[in-house]
Amino acid sequence: MTTMERLNAIFCEVFDDDDLEIAPEMTAADVDGWDSLSHINLIVAVESAFKIRFNQRELLTFKNVGDLLHSIESKIG
């Protein structure tokens, strides 16, 4: 399973939508229910699934799914 696929599975779980297909350019505006509350759930779920930890600066500069994916990949190296 690629990182992208694993991340997609987390998105489906957090947003409770099995048909959700993520893409790098996708932003919060494109996903129903992606608000500041579910964003936190998403971050916590990603951190625990990949066993990584983002710092404040990274968290505040993610602009889309691609940024998040890139950061995960750089951490799991």
Residues of this chain that bind other proteins (CB under 8 A): 36-37, 40-41, 43-44, 56-57, 59-61
Q: Which is nearer to other proteins, 24 or 33 (CB)?
A: 33
Find the shortest distance in angstroms from Cβ 1 to other proteins.
Answer: 25
**Distance set, CA 67 to CA 16, 18, 71 (Å):** 22, 22, 6
State how far the Cα of 75 lies from the Cα of 28, in Å rounded to an integer.
22
Q: Which is nearer to other proteins, 4 or 54 (CB)?
A: 54
State how far the Cα of 30 lies from the Cα of 42, in Å rounded to an integer.
15
Q: Which is nearer to other proteins, 23 or 40 (CB)?
A: 40
